[in-house]
Amino acid sequence: MTEASRHDAWQAGGSYDNYMGRWSRRIAPRFLDWLAPEEGLEWLDVGCGTGELSDAIVSHCNPRGLIGIDQAEGFLLTARDKVPDPRVKFDVGQAQSLPFPSQSFDVVVSGLMLNFVSDRPEALGEMKRVARGDGTVAYYVWDYPGGGVEFLRAFWMAAIDLDPKAQDLGEDRRFPFCTSEGLAALAEEAGLAEVDVTAIEAPTHFQDFDDFWRPFTLGTGPAPGYCVNLPPEERQQLKERLQTSLPYARDGSIPLKTRAWAVRGRVS
Ligand SMILES: C[S@@+](CC[C@H](N)C(=O)[O-])C[C@H]1O[C@@H](n2cnc3c(N)ncnc32)[C@H](O)[C@@H]1O
């Protein structure tokens, strides 16, 4: 495990939802609108986490069945509570070795996961293997290199100002392939046909500074992991730096945005 990835071990579902799940929830329905799938299909959600994308599939796509797979059992407990639907099952599994026979699903999707997998071609190869002929493989990740998660960019800019060593921990440095071209290339290398990429944007509106700051103190995810491991006085400095540098609206809220790249390809 590298220094940069040591806080990627996700487990606490409630903390994740406060930090990232609430914004992933905004992107998921827009991603599904773009896919525009038929109803009654068999779905697989790889790296389903606390079930944000799975929940959106159930409410928007009327699936015949849906399996969510994630390596973090702790997240799956939250997902099972969030999506109590008899058509849906959540199991522990690894993206690089999906526990299913070939050609089991009509649509294989993944939200905000692919960048965290060490062997991305292997994971995409698996997603393609378990999709039926003529099925769809699709995924989205944040536009990290383009500063597409403004609240993370603000966090790391303040952190790096105070501690230049934090430079290599930011997602823009760690995940340079999360561009339109980089992600399309991954899909093409996996042998997907008719590869298409689009940008999906959504607002991230924080009620006040506490709403912005608290998730970073809960420890789930790379930036919160960095934050909770700082000595208390350095964490306080980081808090104060952010407090004075964020853009506030008149009512004290903090209006920021996210942008994800969504990719889809057909299994030929
Ligand atoms: C940022 S979260 C995204 C969760 C969810 N899909 C969402 O959109 O909110 C990344 C998820 O990928 C999972 N993950 C990372 N690497 C994985 C792997 N190799 N196999 C399965 N799950 C993985 C993590 O456990 C975590 O739940």
Q: Averaged over 107-122, what is the pLDDT?
A: 96
Res 252: pLDDT: 96
Mean pLDDT over each residue of the chain, to the nearest integer: 93
Q: How far is the CA of 262 from the centre of ligand 1 (A)?
A: 16
Beta strands per DSSP E along the chain: 42-46, 65-70, 88-92, 105-111, 131-142, 193-206, 254-266
The reported pTM is: 0.92
pLDDT of residue 79 exceeding 90 = yes
Ligand 1 pocket, mutate which of 6, 8, 52, 113 (most atoms under 8 A from CB): 113
- Report the alpha-carbon distance of residue 201 to residue 169 in Å, rounded: 24
70 lines ligand 1 (CB under 6 A): yes
Longest dimension (CA), the chain: 57
Q: Where are the domains of the chain?
A: 13-266
CATH architecture of 13-266: 3-Layer(aba) Sandwich (3.40)
DSSP reduced 3-state for 20: helix
CA of 233 to the centre of ligand 1 (A): 32
- Residues 137-162: what's their mean pLDDT? 95
Torsion sign (Cα): 11, 12, 15, 16: positive
Q: Kindly state the tokens that stand for 136.
A: 């769809």
pLDDT at 8: 54
Q: What percent of the chain stands above pLDDT 70?
A: 95
The residue nearest atom 4 of ligand 1, judged by CA position, is 49
Ligand 1 pocket test, candidate residues 116, 149, 220, most atoms within 8 A of CB = 116
Supply the residue whose CA is at minimum distance from atom 23 of ligand 1.
47
